[in-house]
Structure 1
Amino acid sequence: MPTFTSNDAQINYQTFGNAANPALIFSNSLGTNYGMWQKQFTHFIDDYFVICYDTRGHGASSAPQGPYTLQQLGQDVVNLLNHLNIQKAAFCGISMGGLTGQWLAINKPERFSHVIVCNTAAKIGQEHAWNERAALVREQGLAPIASTAASRWFTDKFIQSNTAEVEKLQNSLAAGSAEGYASCCEALAKADLRELLKEITVPVLVIAGQQDPVTTVADGQFMVEHIPNSQMLEINASHISNIEQPEQFNHLLQSFLS
């Protein structure tokens, strides 16, 4: 797997398809890795130069001592584009990756043609709750978080009919870096872009899960009410909608990008 150095982190990434095609970069959710986008990169590989990476502290990327900041998470993406000599890309991020996408749209608009933010919010959760989770993970590891992740990520129906896939994701979370996860929790604790959304000029698509208990349809509506050039589409899924409803998810992305 190729890696590159972004400030204090080694970032693991993978590319798919022809580098002459328009670039499309995917950003993972908290506690997952770039493999969560499998059904997206196989779909988009013919028309796009697809770039996936593991957010710092996740997957095969390194987990330098935290806390991290949203600015660091965003700058890692810019540094990856620079490393690949890509001037402009479309960006798609989910949950934590969606917050990264909003930061990029606000701070680095010249680098992005389109930004898709999925199952996310301009502020996710409460600061004290994220800090408590970070402390818990540093103390007890990721096993307790992994054991309850499925109920936050997917609908009961999906869990019951896709047990192997759900188990694989939970096992991957449990085997991850506690320090990396906790440090990203601390980034989410501080991240609040609500007052800055009005500055976004890049075309934005918000995808909201109708059954998402973490980042709700109301969170999506708040974003489109405050981002000038934006639209929202709903998907009948819980929090990780790209895995729960891949065909519908890919269709929404394809329509927006074209």
Structure 2
Amino acid sequence: MQIADLGDVQLHYRIDGDPDGAPIVFANSLGTDLRVWDAVVDRLPAGLRIIRYDKRGHGLSSCPPAPYSMGALVRDTERLLDHLQVRDCMFVGLSIGGMIAQGLAVKRLDQIRALVLSNSAAKIGTAEMWKERMQTVQSDGIEALAEAVMERWFARGFRATPELQLWRNMLVQQSRDGYAGCCAAIAGTDFYTPTSGLRLPCLGIAGTEDGSTPPDLVRETVDLIPGSQFHLIRRAGHIACVEQPDEYAGRLTAFLRETGHIG
């Protein structure tokens, strides 16, 4: 386990694979930590420098006073990649991680050469919806949202398995302030205009059963970027990398090869 001290925030990160390999960076979703990528990382080809991190208020990273702006989350990631001397990475962002990816690509095209927007969008939900969720978390804790979140995260078949409890536990063990702080960042974000100016290889991934970012919303966002690709994973909800890791890693590996990121 490693920590990058960025001054106002300390980010927990992990690096796997080849230290001299082509960099691929993963940013996870609201209410999860970097373990959400475990099954995908295990299935990636050799020759990659695989970087994962916990955003502020999540996992083992510090929790600065909330609320947060999307600009702060993007800046955290920018400073982490500078700290790790990362350039020309493939950046894979899940949900809020995909929003961070869009903001970072607009700001620092030297850091990102290709983008994967997984179960994400340029704008997710409404400000009112997020404000209501923040109030619930702050008054009653994340536990009050857990059942509804599980329904959005996972398809029915997966919710019937014992493994569901692991992900429910991960959700409710996140920091209440960190969760609410990131809700505020999502509430204030509309990237339709900046994302439409991006010109880089982009793959969108969606799950047929996703209750948070339905396939049409994901497709609408990736279509803003000329030449982008779209992949739909069946029998998967919002956390498609957990439910269908074989298909997810397979499509990601193909995109790595198509973009020349690996041979």
TM more than 0.5: yes
Report the Cα offset of residue 7 of structure 1: 4.4
The DSSP-based 3-state class of the residue aligned with 1:195 is helix
In structure 1, distance between residues paired with 2:251 and 2:77: 23
Report the Cα offset of residue 194 of structure 1: 1.1
In structure 1, distance between residues paired with 2:117 and 2:87: 20
In structure 2, distance between residues paired with 1:197 and 1:93: 14
In structure 2, distance between residues paired with 1:208 and 1:201: 21
Report the Cα offset of residue 146 of structure 1: 2.2
Q: Deviations over 1:112-139 (max 9, x none)?
A: 1211010111100010110111121111
In structure 2, distance between residues paired with 1:65 and 1:38: 29
Tell me what 1:4 maps to.
4
Tell me what 1:187 maps to.
185
Q: Deviations over 1:34-87 (max 9, x none)?
A: 000001222226221101101111000111111111111112221111111222
In structure 2, distance between residues paired with 1:5 and 1:146: 31
Work out whether 1:172 is the aligned partner of 2:170: yes
Tell me what 1:232 maps to.
230
Query: Which deviates further from its counterpart, 36-45 or 22-31?
Result: 36-45
* Unpaired runs of at least 5, structure 1: none
Query: Which deviates further from its counterpart, 26-35 or 43-52?
Result: 43-52
Query: Which deviates further from its counterpart, 140-149 or 24-33?
Result: 140-149
RMSD: 1.3
Contact map agreement 1:17 1:45 (CA 8 A) in 2: no
Tell me what 2:123 maps to.
123
Q: Deviations over 1:145-192 (max 9, x none)?
A: 2233211100111111x32x2101111211210000000000000010
Higher helix share: 1
In structure 2, distance between residues paired with 1:128 and 1:86: 37
Query: Which deviates further from its counterpart, 109-118 or 146-155?
Result: 146-155
Contact map agreement 1:57 1:177 (CA 8 A) in 2: yes
Amino acid in the other structure paired with 1:148? A
Output aligned runs, 1:1-258, within 5 Å. 1-44=1-44, 46-160=46-160, 162-163=161-162, 165-236=163-234, 237-258=236-257
The DSSP-based 3-state class of the residue aligned with 2:136 is helix
User: Aligned in 2, Cα 1:25/1:183: closer, same or farther, shift over 3 Å?
Assistant: same
Contact map agreement 2:151 2:211 (CA 8 A) in 1: no
In structure 2, distance between residues paired with 1:119 and 1:100: 13
In structure 2, distance between residues paired with 1:139 and 1:26: 31
* TM-score for the superposition, normalised by structure 1: 0.95
The DSSP-based 3-state class of the residue aligned with 1:205 is strand
* TM-score for the superposition, normalised by structure 2: 0.94
In structure 1, distance between residues paired with 2:34 and 2:212: 20
Query: Which deviates further from its counterpart, 247-256 or 191-200?
Result: 191-200
Identity %: 34
In structure 1, distance between residues paired with 2:45 and 2:178: 30
In structure 2, distance between residues paired with 1:257 and 1:186: 33
Contact map agreement 2:117 2:222 (CA 8 A) in 1: no
Contact map agreement 1:44 1:50 (CA 8 A) in 2: no
Amino acid in the other structure paired with 1:3? I
The DSSP-based 3-state class of the residue aligned with 1:87 is coil
The DSSP-based 3-state class of the residue aligned with 1:44 is coil
In structure 1, distance between residues paired with 2:93 and 2:76: 14
In structure 1, distance between residues paired with 2:66 and 2:200: 30
